[in-house]
Amino acid sequence: MKLTEIRLQRLKMKLNNPFRNSISAVNAKELYIITAIDEAGIEGYGETVAFDTPWYTEETVATNRMAIESWLIPLLREKTISHPEEITELFSVVKRNQMAKAAVEEAIWDLYAKQTETPLYQLLGGNRTKIAAGISLGIEPDVKDLLKKIEQKVIAGCPRVKVKIKKGWDMDILREIRRHFPTLPLMADANSAYCIRDLDYLRQLDEFDLMMIEQPFEDGDFADHAQLQRAIKTPVCLDESIHSLQDVRTALELGSCKVINIKIGRVGGLAEAKKIHDYCFARNIPVWCGGMLEAGIGRAHNIALASLPGFTLPGDIGGSAHYWKKDIIHPEVVVTNGEITVPKSPGIGYEIDRDAIRKYLIEEQIFPL
């Protein structure tokens, strides 16, 4: 592929809607835009998705930077690759650091798609022209604020709403939501707020006809999740537990869940995300595309991935305006009647908004290959 340069740009972007879950509150996002440049000057883009502190997984903005600069860029100098699928193997000498690997791999997929004049979604095997855009709503100071936000999304045609729960903000809140929206496709995400001692308490979830309960227990608790899934009818979905196809195999063989949330960053890139999709699709296990409060480049990659046929459930992929005053791509991602049209131009299908990037830029560095 003859890469000549990798550019790192660190941005800081303030969120329109500060996002609170069971562990953390995110008001602004810092991220790296990774640009992979070839000898013809074609540019491919990727985005890091880790947060400032390691509350979601062990990675952070700072560890992403260190991994990319210290280990991943040197590996790109060692070997010329001819296809982005070779990146997983090339980076395999570095343990984990999935979000760092994914951001670089995304940039190389976008570059390859542009070199071959193919839309990224087609390159990945996607066949949807539109994807369903669900929304994830954080914990609010008052349930009335949450009900108002849900109502706005329902009026706009949102196909499903996900709410965050934790101890003290769970059964009563879900009951109240159901009182106002009895048939709304609804799910709840606990971000590991519970443990196996809460099993009896969690049986109450079956009252609310939820599409699923996402990540009730800790990351490594496959056996406990299996025990819970045996005890409740509500499907368990795993998010933080899934770092690779191997984790999906473990979860499905133990019966730890019935649904998988795929996040490109959490599983180390698009190639692994596609492998997980293919594995689940062959076994009729529904998957959906999770979100990490991405800016436009990460969101564009999510849209391409979510066009694959096994993504049968709406993802956490809101429109740009839900997150940012001004996104870093144009056109911005727009949700119409609960759907996003998958762009058809080569690569990720969106242009970079250089003025917006300049506005958010804190630091830039170029690494020759």
Q: Is 209 labeled as ligand-binding?
A: no
Q: How far apart are CA 350 and CA 332, in angstroms?
A: 8
Cβ atoms of residues 88 and 105 within 8 Å: yes
Per-residue binder mask for Mg ion (CB under 5 A), 150-189, x = binder: ---------------------------------------x
Q: How far apart are CA 116 and CA 50, in angstroms?
A: 30
Using rule CB under 6 A, residue 291 touches ligand 164: yes
First to last CA, the chain: 12
Residues near 334 by beta carbon (within 8 Å), at least 6 away in sequence: 319, 320, 321, 340
Partner whose binding site includes residue 360, from Mg ion, ligand 164, none (CB under 5 to 8 Å by kind) = none
Q: Which of 29, 101, 153, 164 is catalytic?
A: 164
- β partners of residue 24: none
Q: How far apart are CA 353 and CA 332, in angstroms?
A: 9
Nearer to ligand 164, 36 or 342 (CB): 342
Using alpha carbons, select from 269, 264, 235, 265 the residue that is nearest to residue 252. Answer: 235
Residues near 241 by beta carbon (within 8 Å), at least 6 away in sequence: 215, 219, 220, 221, 222, 225, 247, 251, 256, 257
Using rule CB under 6 A, residue 290 touches ligand 164: yes
HSE-CB for 222 with a 13 A CA cutoff: 13
Report how far apart, in Å, the C-alpha atoms of 330 and of each of 31, 295, 297, 356 are. 18, 12, 10, 10
For Mg ion, which residue of 38, 106, 239, 294 counts as binding (CB under 5 A)?
A: 239
CB of 165 to Mg ion, least distance (A): 11
# of chain residues touching Mg ion (CB under 5 A): 3
Using alpha carbons, select from 360, 362, 348, 368 the residue that is nearest to residue 15. Answer: 360
Q: Say whether 359 is catalytic.
A: no
CB of 26 to ligand 164, least distance (A): 8
Q: Is 189 labeled as ligand-binding?
A: yes
Report how far apart, in Å, the C-alpha atoms of 198 and of each of 174, 233, 282 are. 17, 16, 33
Q: Which residue is nearest to Mg ion (CB)?
A: 239
Footprint (CB under 6 A) of ligand 164, residues 125-164 = 136
Stretch that binds Mg ion, among 148-156, 224-232, 234-242, 298-306 (CB under 5 A): 234-242
Cβ atoms of residues 213 and 187 within 8 Å: yes
CB of 199 to ligand 164, least distance (A): 21
Q: Is 247 labeled as ligand-binding?
A: no
Partner whose binding site includes residue 247, from ligand 164, Mg ion, none (CB under 5 to 8 Å by kind) = none
Footprint (CB under 6 A) of ligand 164, residues 187-246 = 189, 191, 239
CB of 168 to ligand 164, least distance (A): 17
Partner whose binding site includes residue 250, from ligand 164, Mg ion, none (CB under 5 to 8 Å by kind) = none
For ligand 164, which residue of 38, 247, 272, 316 counts as binding (CB under 6 A)?
A: 316
Q: Which of 29, 101, 162, 263 is catalytic?
A: 263
Environment class of residue 258 by beta-carbon count within 10 Å: exposed (0-12), middle (13-18) or buried (19+)? middle
- β partners of residue 365: 8
Q: Say whether 164 is catalytic.
A: yes
- β partners of residue 8: 34, 365
Nearer to ligand 164, 291 or 296 (CB): 291
CB of 32 to ligand 164, least distance (A): 17
Using rule CB under 6 A, residue 318 touches ligand 164: yes
Using rule CB under 6 A, residue 56 touches ligand 164: yes
**Binding residues vs ligand 164 (CB under 6 A):** 21, 56, 136, 189, 191, 239, 290-293, 316, 318
Catalytic sites, residue numbers = 164, 263
**Binding residues vs Mg ion (CB under 5 A):** 189, 214, 239
